[in-house]
Structure 1
Amino acid sequence: MTTPKVALYVTCLADLMRPSVAQASLELLRAAGCDVTVPAEQSCCGQPSYNNGDYAGAVRIAKQLIQRFESFDYVVLPSGSCAGMLIKHYPRLLEGEWRDRAEQFAKRVYELTTFLFSICDYEPAVQGSATAVAYHDSCAGLRELNIKEQPRELLTRANIPVAELSQGSVCCGFGGTFCAKMPAISGDMADRKIEDVEKTGGSTLVAGDLGCLLALEGRARRKGSSLRFRHVAEVLLDENPGFSLGAPDDTPRGNNR
């Protein structure tokens, strides 16, 4: 069987705010048997420009990204939001030959947990304890890409139980620039999500989108909450899944090139 050649698209937030998510994604893909490359010339996926009406800017970014990544068998992202941009919105944004290229490109783009579960049938090496984690489904991943069972199944395979939220399909309030444009509404939505997590009795919220996690963690810290917030890639790779982990360790564990 040919080893799949995978390009890891790191995403802006992982690169700038939580490099441990990119490192964990890299190591998970390698453990799943992939030949992984992290292309050096990566940029934003164009979602902020696209969502705020700068379509010309988004088109330029989309063309550059397709050119840099389309030679790989697969492109994998630890973000349902960015993956949704590449898969769903690039073909709508581009025209002519570029639309055709975007449509072909989209067929090879996967969110991380979907790729590990559906393409690699990955069995996590980590084996968890009886401590349950709460899981947050991001809006883009859930509604655009139908990401729901994939991360839960991977956590189950790692013997990590998942506590379901009573309002699991409700937005956390981040919404990209929504949280900046509507801070009062966004804050109230985040408070409700945090309260929902606390009602599960768990100490850790896990999600597949770093934007949601960072926004919720910031709100929780301001409110004095002791909840922990971790990306699913970090949890699936962790050698000590007891979750008494404190702040994430962003120290790279290997060469990512």
Structure 2
Amino acid sequence: MTVGLFIPCYVNQFYPGAAIATLQLLEKLGVNVAFPPNQTCCGQPMANSGFEHLTQGCNDLIIKDFAKYDYIVCPSGSCVLHIKEHIHSEKEPVKAASVSHKIYELVEFLTDVLKVENLNAHFPYKVGVHQSCHGQRGLKLSQMTELVEPDFSKPLQLLNMVKELEIIPLDRKDECCGFGGTFCVAEEAVSVKMGKDRIADHVSHGAEYITGADMSCLMHMEGILRRQGSKTKVVHIAEILNAEKV
């Protein structure tokens, strides 16, 4: 198979390490990865702000760049969900539908397509796992605790393969961090308070790192952690799954 790697604009600008780890991890697992160099934003910020009708340029570029690949993989659940549910084209509806059906968030690609059972990864730290809302409630990466259903978590399934990693317990394991894309701009005070509550749960249980499948949530929490002078750090799940023993 050939996978087209889609890297969200904010990851490209602020967290290139997460993008590099994603590429390296896929290649370690024997995947042929292509990276279209002209890719840009998926259009989600505009859509979230009520300007979805202005995102067609983003849709057209994604279709042009990625429709030819067997799969599309992206290390950001919110961007993947946006493309899955909203990409469209009056000129090329078949290609738009194809992109919608073959784009995967990294974790679900590893568990559902590659069906990874072993990882040669080491990360000797106490880690708190943040279940981002887009991934959990949109992409079904993990079960919601309010449902009386069998529990599962695809991120935990992979993290449990990492040697020396200790997953810490949380009081509210699927609570929102408050980022919410443009919500953190429109409702800054509420967003920050939610982020502080989310961080406190991790820190109080001894987390050295907070990880997740959506760097945007981690970015939000990292800003609060830095302002608090906390020693707890954030790291994208790809960087943990790709980590080798030193």
TM value normalised by structure 1:
0.86
Contact 2:8 2:74 in 1 (8 A): yes
Instruction: Summarize the alignment of residues 36-47 of structure 1 with structure 2, pairs less than 5 Å apart.
Output: 36-47=33-44
One-letter identity of the residue aligned with 1:227: T
Deviations 1:153-194 (A, max 9, x none): 111112333224222222101111111111110110011001
Compared CA separation, residues 218 and 128, structure 1 to 2 (3 A): closer
CA distance in 1: counterparts of 2:139 and 2:91, whole angstroms: 25
Q: Which residue of 1 is the match for residue 202 of structure 2?
A: 197
Given candidates 21, 26, 47, the residue that maps to 1:24 is 21
Compared CA separation, residues 64 and 95, structure 1 to 2 (3 A): closer
CA root-mean-square deviation: 1.6
Q: Which residue of 1 is the match for residue 150 of structure 2?
A: none
Q: Which residue of 2 is the match for residue 183 of structure 1?
A: 188
Instruction: Summarize the alignment of residues 58-97 of structure 1 with structure 2, pairs less than 5 Å apart.
Output: 58-90=55-87, 94=88, 96=90
Contact 1:155 1:161 in 2 (8 A): no
1:137 maps onto 2:141 in alignment: no
CA distance in 1: counterparts of 2:167 and 2:137, whole angstroms: 20
Given candidates 119, 128, 131, the residue that maps to 1:124 is 119
Q: Which residue of 2 is the match for residue 101 of structure 1?
A: 95
Q: Equivalent residue of 2:234, what SS?
A: strand
TM-aligned CA deviation for residue 217 of structure 1: 0.7
Deviations 1:209-243 (A, max 9, x none): 111111101111111211111000011111248xx
1:162 maps onto 2:182 in alignment: no
Compared CA separation, residues 237 and 85, structure 1 to 2 (3 A): same
TM-aligned CA deviation for residue 78 of structure 1: 0.3
TM-aligned CA deviation for residue 101 of structure 1: 2.8
Q: Is there any run of 5+ residues in structure 2 with no aligned partner, and where?
A: 143-152
CA distance in 2: counterparts of 1:44 and 1:143, whole angstroms: 22
One-letter identity of the residue aligned with 2:24: E
CA distance in 2: counterparts of 1:218 and 1:128, whole angstroms: 23
Deviations 1:36-75 (A, max 9, x none): 0111011100001111121232122112211210000010
Instruction: Summarize the alignment of residues 240-255 of structure 1 with structure 2, pairs less than 5 Å apart.
Output: 240=245
1:153 maps onto 2:157 in alignment: yes
TM-aligned CA deviation for residue 97 of structure 1: 5.5
Q: Equivalent residue of 2:160, what SS?
A: helix
Moved more, 64-73 or 161-170: 161-170
Q: Percent identity?
A: 33
CA distance in 2: counterparts of 1:113 and 1:103, whole angstroms: 22
Q: Equivalent residue of 1:229, what SS?
A: strand
Contact 2:123 2:240 in 1 (8 A): no
CA distance in 1: counterparts of 2:4 and 2:159, whole angstroms: 24
* Number of equivalences: 234
1:231 maps onto 2:236 in alignment: yes
CA distance in 2: counterparts of 1:173 and 1:236, whole angstroms: 26
Contact 1:32 1:116 in 2 (8 A): no
